[in-house]
Chains A and B, each alone.
Chain A
């Protein structure tokens, strides 16, 4: 009579505890380090880092002062007034009235700037002349509106003088110049 073979019992429902203590020790040290060095308010700056094609267009514009210019006046009473100049003389003036609460109508300002930009895509400089009573926040808002059109893809096309190919950009008036800083 043969002996019956002993069956090894396998427990398929077995569980084991993972030792989380070392992981916790690392986190306890890492969290204070990050808490101390984190920046909870993200600060940025407004500056002009421009693509090569835009920089070339701006240089060309600086060389030729008689090229079309866009000059914008900001006033809390008269609103946002856009002057289009060609060869030094004014060819068109558009006024965007302020909202009833006195704030600038940013959507209308944007559409007016877009309209002129589409007819003169080679102009990238906007000369801004805010009135003394306009707040700094309102100026920054107008600069944001004038610099890019991020919600419309890359609607402006320019021919690259080196490659001869068309290049698209979403930059509208990236170089905003405060034209009245030295005015008395």
Chain B
């Protein structure tokens, strides 16, 4: 007669306590880090991926303004492309024939914005936030500054990244 094999009793209602102390520790650290890096600035800026901003020790938060982005390949106003760049300088077709510092499409767009009677206060005050690539030469940036001033936007602020 064969012996019957022993079967361990299965408790169907069994529960077990999960130790979540270490998980809570991890979340506490993550929360502190995120709260520390949380930006308190009134204006949120999203720099494009192909842009490397210059580093500065300046501690002024950005303000509401017309946002101009100057990368190595294009000039954008907010998110629309205004002009293209070829080897870090503007195409001749975008520049005025008798004034090589004058960017025609930029002037036209800014001029239309400033003449709009329902424009926002920062447009009336002529405020511009310039996000320009750190490697660009002054010759290219000067053209944007020159044209913006001519279009009634003389209050230019440079956007920089915190660092030495």
A132 touches B137 (CB 8 A): yes
Identify A139's interface contact among B17, B101, B138, CB under 8 A. Answer: B138
B142 touches A140 (CB 8 A): no
Task: Annotate A47-60 by CB proximity to B: 1 below 8 A, 0 otherwise.
Answer: 10100000000000
Given A34-B34, A34-B35, A182-B146, residue A136 in contact with residue B20 (CB < 8 A): no
Task: Annotate A158-181 by CB proximity to B: 1 below 8 A, 0 otherwise.
Answer: 000000000000000000001011
Identify A45's interface contact among B20, B24, B62, B134, CB under 8 A. Answer: B62
Given A132-B138, A136-B54, residue A42 in contact with residue B39 (CB < 8 A): yes
Interface size on B, residues (CB 8 A): 50
Identify B24's interface contact among A23, A30, A34, A143, CB under 8 A. Answer: A23
B138 touches A46 (CB 8 A): no
In this complex, the interface size class of chain A, counting residues with CB under 8 Å from chain B, is: 35 or more
A44 touches B135 (CB 8 A): no
B62 touches A34 (CB 8 A): no
Dominant secondary structure of chain B at its interface with chain A: mixed
A140 touches B34 (CB 8 A): no
Chain B residues within an 8 Å CB radius of A134:
137-138
Given A31-B27, A41-B161, A43-B45, residue A135 in contact with residue B135 (CB < 8 A): yes
Q: List 23 A-B contacts (CB under 8 A).
A: A23-B24, A24-B24, A30-B31, A34-B38, A38-B37, A39-B39, A40-B37, A42-B161, A42-B162, A43-B53, A44-B61, A44-B62, A45-B129, A49-B60, A132-B142, A134-B138, A135-B136, A136-B141, A137-B55, A137-B135, A140-B158, A150-B57, A180-B142
Residues of B within 8 A of A (CB): 17, 20-21, 23-24, 27-28, 30-31, 34-35, 37-39, 41, 44-45, 47, 53-63, 101, 129, 132-139, 141-142, 145-146, 149, 157-162
